């Protein structure tokens, strides 16, 4: 009858998936201090072998940066995630990116989110690393990330609330 003593349900654990094919590496290996020192949160990067970028898990698109180099998500378990394409690519003013989703759209790990023209990024002397940051990683810690080759959609690890 009364639920005073019941624990509130915690969001379910959620798997994170490779957002593209390439070399997975820990965030500390990214050649940008803002990311490698975890100023924005913990995460990982993939040196991409493809131009297609997918959602990291089930959730909602919260925002798309005007320069199209970054998309934020709120996952179904409450984790907040920033998907950042390339390093210093904000300077390219959106030219090498095509966004395939809209704010408020529901996504899964099978949902294509963006296309990035890696050649254009490299021609502008930028790094193509695709970075995924859990901005509330103090609440949703990530498993340890090992450097290895991954395929798009491959499970990276489980993210769960502390």
Instruction: Give the chain's radius of gyration (CA, Å).
Output: 16
- The catalytic residue positions are 84
Where does the pLDDT of residue 9 fall: very low under 50, low under 70, confident under 90, or very high at 90 and above?
very low
pLDDT tens digit sequence for 55-71: 999 999 999 999 999 99
* Residue 3, in any domain of the structure: no
Asked if the structure places residue 49 within a domain, the reply is: yes
pLDDT score recorded for residue 3: 46
In a domain, 65, yes or no: yes
102-121 pLDDT per residue, tens: 999 999 999 999 999 999 99
Give the number of domains in the chain: 1
How many Å apart are CA 126 and CA 86, to the nearest integer?
7
Separation CA 85–CA 43 (nearest Å):
13
CATH code of residue 137: 2.70.70.10
Contact 50, 144 (CB under 8 A): no
Q: 1 falls in which pLDDT band (50, 70, 90)?
A: very low
Q: Are 129 and 47 in contact (CB under 8 A)?
A: yes
């Amino acid at each position: 009858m009364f639920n005073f003593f019941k624990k509130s349900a915690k969001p379910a654990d959620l798997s994170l998936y490779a957002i593209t094919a390439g070399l997975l590496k820990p965030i500390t290996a990214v050649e940008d201090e803002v990311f490698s020192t975890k100023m924005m949160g913990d995460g990982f990067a993939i040196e991409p072998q493809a131009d297609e970028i997918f959602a990291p898990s089930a959730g909602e698109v919260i925002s798309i940066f005007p320069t199209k180099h970054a998309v934020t998500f709120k996952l179904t378990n409450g984790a907040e995630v920033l998907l950042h394409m390339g390093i210093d690519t904000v300077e390219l003013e959106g030219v090498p990116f095509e966004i395939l989703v809209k704010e408020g759209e529901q996504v899964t790990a099978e949902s294509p989110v963006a296309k990035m023209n890696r050649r254009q990024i490299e021609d502008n002397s930028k790094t193509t690393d695709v970075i995924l940051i859990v901005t509330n990683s103090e609440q949703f810690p990530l498993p340890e990330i090992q450097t290895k080759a991954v395929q798009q959609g491959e499970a990276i690890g489980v993210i769960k609330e502390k």
